[in-house]
Amino acid sequence: MYKLIALDMDGTLFTSDKKITDRTKKAIAAAHAQGVKIVLASGRPLDGLHKPLAELNLISDNEYVLCYNGALAVTAKSGTILSQCTLTGADCKRLFALAQQIGVHCHAFSTKQGLITNETSEYTEYEARLNEMTYTIINPQTDIADDEIIIKVMFIDPPEILNEAVKKVPDWVYEDFNAFNSSPFFFEITNKAVDKGAGLAQLAQRLNIRQEEVIACGDESNDYSMIKYAGLGVAMGNAIDKVKAAANYITDTNDNDGVAKVIEKFILK
């Protein structure tokens, strides 16, 4: 019997127009009523998850969220941190300098300063709107303390620019950090130990839920680790090939109730 289902959001829980369908809401409510933990596993901060959590009636400190691709596990209401895995301000400075060298925009999330960037970009503005946050323009070399807690750094630009820039990312980035595309216009850099799979494993252990009792659904490369970890790893019909290859099951697309169909088949059956 499955006791926890972890859901990526963009491309998984959400349709292409950022909605949660009525069928999906109904399936989630029915699973929750049976005692199944519904865990949103997102690259977003908790601030950016209040609306979907409210829509799914999951705002409570008995509900849990994986934020920033697993860098933080928090309670859904008060945001109490259960586990964290972060970067330093010194790391952040190196990465801002690299972004400038390879010609790509960059922003970062600081526990002290929030969303920070050295130069405004349409994607920083999009991130701020998406997560209901403001952002601050800073000088990375003077305005970030070396020991400041940085959750993640992101290289951000239209896909045609970002893809070319990512080709120039040196080996030390992949050696020192976890670096991956979370969308066609976001390249994320986190602590080497951060991924949704590790965050989900820690949370499941804390809740005394066994690996084989966990379902995880996703579509992008940042979902790969939790799909590999879960007892039932599910790729969306719209998932990238790498995620489909790692999955135990491939469901329908995010625009065709893929999440609802998984819950109906494996939990509500």
- List the catalytic residue out of 8, 10, 91, 257: 8
Contact in structure between 102 and 165 (CB atoms under 8 Å): yes
Contact in structure between 187 and 181 (CB atoms under 8 Å): yes
The SS3 assignment for 88 reads strand
Contact in structure between 219 and 238 (CB atoms under 8 Å): yes
Which tokens hold the place of 48?
């950016």
Dist. CA 136–CA 168, nearest whole Å: 27
8 as an active site residue: the answer is: yes
Is residue 1 classed exposed, middle or buried when 0-12, 13-18 and 19+ CB atoms within 10 A define those classes? exposed
Contact in structure between 264 and 5 (CB atoms under 8 Å): no
Which tokens hold the place of 239?
């998932």
Who's near 27: CB < 8 A, 6+ residues apart? 259, 260, 263, 264, 268
Dist. CA 186–CA 34, nearest whole Å: 36
Contact in structure between 140 and 96 (CB atoms under 8 Å): yes
Whether the CA torsion 184, 158, 43, 94 is positive or negative: it is: positive
Which tokens hold the place of 232?
């039932």
Is residue 26 classed exposed, middle or buried when 0-12, 13-18 and 19+ CB atoms within 10 A define those classes? middle
**Which residues are the active-site residues?**
8
